[in-house]
Amino acid sequence: MAGAGAVVSKSIGLEPNIGNSNPVIVGTDCGVINSMGLPNPGINEFIDELKSLNLDNFPLFVSIFGYTENEFEILAKKLSKIPMVKAIELNISCPHSVISQIGQDPEITRKVVEAVRESTDLPLFVKLTPNVTDITKIAKAAELGGADAIIAINTVRAIAIDIETGMPILSNIYGGLSGPAIKPIAIRAVYDIFKTVNIPIIGVGGILKWQDVIEFFYAGASAVQIGTGIIREDLDIFRKISIGLIQYLNRKNILNIQDLIGKTHKLIRIKREKK
């Protein structure tokens, strides 16, 4: 209702999980670090809840996480039967969980994506971790496994320390940094992945305003996600950004958004050819 094109759920696993004990979130100068611990009601209760809503036309993407290929398969199969679910997002990238070991290894990424690909006809998006040496290798593996789109990036592994006690603030010590601090990292990741894969990229990381979204488009994103921005602003962020985007496109006489996606790559090529 606030103007977003779709909503992505918190990641859902097989079993109910209450998550980590407090504190699970801490603010920093330009972002937040969270370590919720993947809290969720478990797939069965989650599906019951979705069914009770009776909102078959709602544009819902469900994020799922598992510890094995088989767990991902079961989750995807169950969700495929629910009309409300329009796409599946694989979280193989939570920065403080063993599931990030999937998203840090191209071979394992490919196997997990392949397994889910065979279990569902729903669009399949794979969310990648920036906590790797070369994110393009993971993106390529996800594409080869049959992903329909790459989502870049998940949070950056981080720590905050209380200087009065000397102890880490989060109960889990490590958490994932999100917000404006990570935007340039996300732009770089999208820029590099665009050169590597032939599937669309959904950009995410530190978006607060329409200018950030334009920057993601130039780097190569076809769509964006906003999470921390909702905490920093409020749900009006979607409408404000949409208005800003339309005004920019009008001012620049851009009739087709497609002309903007990845345009920085084109501009760099043209500049190089002139030399």
Give the residue numbers annotated as catalytic, written as ranges: 94
The CB-nearest residue to ligand DHB is 176
The one-letter amino acid code at 11 reads: S
Nearer to ligand DHB, 63 or 136 (CB): 63
Closest CB to ligand DHB among 13 and 200? Answer: 13
Other Cβ atoms closer than 10 A to 44: 12
CA angle (80, 85, 86) in 5-degree steps: 100
E-only strand ranges, the chain: 7-8, 25-28, 31-34, 60-64, 85-91, 124-128, 149-152, 156-158, 175-178, 201-204, 223-225
Residues that bind ligand DHB (CB under 6 A): 34-38, 91, 94-95, 154-155, 176
User: DSSP state, 105?
Assistant: -
DSSP assignment of 156-186, as one string? EEE--B-TTT-SBSSTTS-EEEESGGGHHHH
| Bond into 138 cis (ω within 30) | no
| Least Å from the CB of residue 27 to ligand DHB | 15
The residue type at 65: F
**Min dist. Cβ of residue 25 to ligand DHB (A):** 9
Contact 113, 103 (CB under 8 A): no
**Beta carbon nearer to ligand DHB, 33 or 214:** 33
Q: Number of H helices and number of E strands within the chain?
A: 10, 11
CB of 23 to ligand DHB, least distance (A): 12
Closest approach of ligand DHB to the CB of residue 66, in Å: 13
Taking the complex as a whole, how short is the minimal distance between the CB of residue 255 and ligand DHB, in angstroms? 36
Cβ atoms of 199 and 221 closer than 8 Å: no
Nearer residue to ligand DHB within complex by CB, 75 or 261: 75
Smaller CB distance to ligand DHB: residue 71 or 214?
71
